[in-house]
Amino acid sequence: SHSGFPSLFTFAVVEVTEGNTTTIEGRIIEEAEAPPPPNPSGQCPICRWNLKHKYDYVDVLLLSQFIRSDGGMLPRRVTGLCLEEHKKVAVCVQMAHRAGLLPNHRPPLPEGHIAKKPKLNRYLTRWPVRSAKPIWKRGPKWCKKPFPVGHPLLKDNVKYTQKPLCLNH
Amino acid sequence: MASYSRAAQQWATFARAWYLLDAKMQPPGKIAAATVIRLEGRHKPIYHALNDCGDHVVIINTRHIAFSGNKWEQKVYSSHTGYPGGFKQVTATQLHLKDPTAIVKLAVYRMLPKNLQRRTLMQRLHLFPEDVIPEDIEKNLLQEIPQPRAVPKRLDEYTPEEIAAFPKVWTPPKDFRRK
């Protein structure tokens, strides 16, 4: 909405033309009252809303509340998350970015530079794409080198199936 | 059924069906597991290894499969030409760019039972990189197999009403400068 200098409050710029006078006015947006959380005695937003082990990289509506417009995480002292939840959310946000679920939260590119679209679909990627090296020799059947999938921080998430969560394929 | 003759009843039971499977945003291992069941005929109560009761499976959009984890970079497909110095190792990315159907084909081939039936069952598998299918195959299709993985929605695929209905989990302090 605004560029250049940062501002203290979020406001909307309203331009009104009456006859030969144009009034440009910035109205401070009052954010609507949030509904009360189910567990007001929690320390961080996740505990207050009873989401402790219940979110994943797929829940973009929740994760998008903790990211900047260029995709980076907001600082913990601002969002109020506890350390372990902040790390979990950061990991989920990274996996969501790599899966292509947050297409509009991209860093601004220098002018003229066209972003190239990723050709391959992926999900639950633990490591950055450019840092992963091929596993040339996986080893014999009794000690194969596994492919890491997902993240160990999310291993306590609620499971709705009886199958155990597999972090190494 | 009492009204059909025995020959017609047998013809109908052992008829070969054609199934369609969309591999868009699906992991190739789960796609292969679903197709191998249909190719062998294990989804039928009349299954027997000697019965030859398998069906045809047509897989479309193999170019748009999704690997979990970093398998695109880490998984290596090896082969040997038979000549000395002919050991070739290719990553999944390189193989996919060279031939978009190869990954699913290899996954299905390696999941089928290792017997002489494997080659005939591979002949009943039809792979297409996009959703363009030849007309004669399209006319044969009977049913679509459900996709093994639930594809997640992107943020821009949610309607503004759904985004507004989701509660804000934290409120920013008054002096917060949002970029």
Beta carbons of B169 and A70 less than 8 Å apart: no
**pLDDT on residue A114:** 78
Determine the distance from the C-alpha atom of residue A91 to the mean position of all C-alpha atoms in its chain, rounded to a whole number. 8
**pLDDT on residue A17:** 83
Sheet order of strands, B18-22 included: B125-127, B56-60, B18-22, B143-144
Distance CA B87, CA A62 (A): 48
Low-confidence ranges of chain A (pLDDT < 70): 1-10, 31-32
Q: Report the SS3 class of residue B71.
A: helix
User: Measured between CA atoms, how close is B76 to chain A, in angstroms?
Assistant: 6
User: Measured between CA atoms, how close is B138 to chain A, in angstroms?
Assistant: 26
pLDDT one-digit tens code per residue, B50-72:
999 999 999 999 999 999 999 99
Nearest to A101 among B75, B155, B177 (CB): B155
* Measured CA angle at B80 (ends B79, B83), to 5 deg: 165
Nearest to A134 among B64, B74, B155 (CB): B74
User: Measured between CA atoms, how close is A122 to chain B, in angstroms?
Assistant: 5
**pLDDT on residue A85:** 95
Q: How far is CA B151 from CA A96, B162, B165, in A?
A: 13, 18, 22
**pLDDT on residue B103:** 97
Reported as half-sphere exposure (CB side, CA atoms, 13 A), residue A150 has a value of 13
**pLDDT on residue B39:** 97
**pLDDT on residue A2:** 42
Q: Residue B100: closest CA among chain A residues belongs to which residue?
A: A120
Name which of B74, B40, B80, B35 is nearest B58 in CA terms: B35
As a whole number, the mean pLDDT across chain B is: 95
Distance CA B169, CA A36 (A): 10
**pLDDT on residue B179:** 62
Beta strand A11-18 with A21-28 is antiparallel
Reported as half-sphere exposure (CB side, CA atoms, 13 A), residue B160 has a value of 0
**pLDDT on residue B2:** 66
**pLDDT on residue A102:** 95
Name which of A33, A167, A18, A143 is nearest A91 in CA terms: A167
pLDDT one-digit tens code per residue, B69-101:
999 999 999 999 999 999 999 999 999 999 999
User: Measured between CA atoms, how close is A15 to chain B, in angstroms?
Assistant: 23
**pLDDT on residue B123:** 97
Distance CA B95, CA B143 (A): 30
B130 neighbourhood in chain A, CB within 8 Å = none
Q: What is the mean pLDDT of residues B2-17?
A: 92
**pLDDT on residue A64:** 95
Nearest to A134 among B73, B96, B152 (CB): B73
Beta carbons of A101 and B154 less than 8 Å apart: yes
**pLDDT on residue A15:** 83
Beta carbons of B170 and A79 less than 8 Å apart: yes
Strand partners, B75: none
Q: What is the mean pLDDT of residues B101-107?
A: 97
